[in-house]
Amino acid sequence: MSENVEVEVAGGADPLVTAAILAAVTRLEEERAALAAVPRKRPSRGRWVLSGRPREVAPPIVRPVPDADGWSVTSEESAEDS
């Protein structure tokens, strides 16, 4: 509050209380001006935005291949079944 401003404190405050009220209002205005001078922090990216970003992909699951013995049907076994 660097300007010349007339302030009227109602309620019958004595000069010391009026000075304390004006000091508090001045302090609040100084803090407000200081906060307004600081640029706002850049907002962080949300989960929705980050979900579209490339990410590391795990390798495919390698399943064991069974041995040929006992798992394959030979031509002799298929002829016996028919």
Cβ(13)–Cβ(21) below 8 Å: yes
User: What is the model's pTM?
Assistant: 0.43
Residue 8's pLDDT is 79
- Give the chain's mean pLDDT: 80
Q: How far apart are CA 26 and CA 14, in angstroms?
A: 18
12-26: pLDDT as tens digits: 888 899 899 999 999
Taken as a whole, the chain contains a residue count of: 82
What is the percent of the chain with per-residue pLDDT over 70, rounded to a whole number? Answer: 76
Residue 45's pLDDT is 87
Task: Give Cα separations from 24 to 5, 31, 38, 39, 54 (angstroms).
Answer: 15, 11, 22, 25, 52
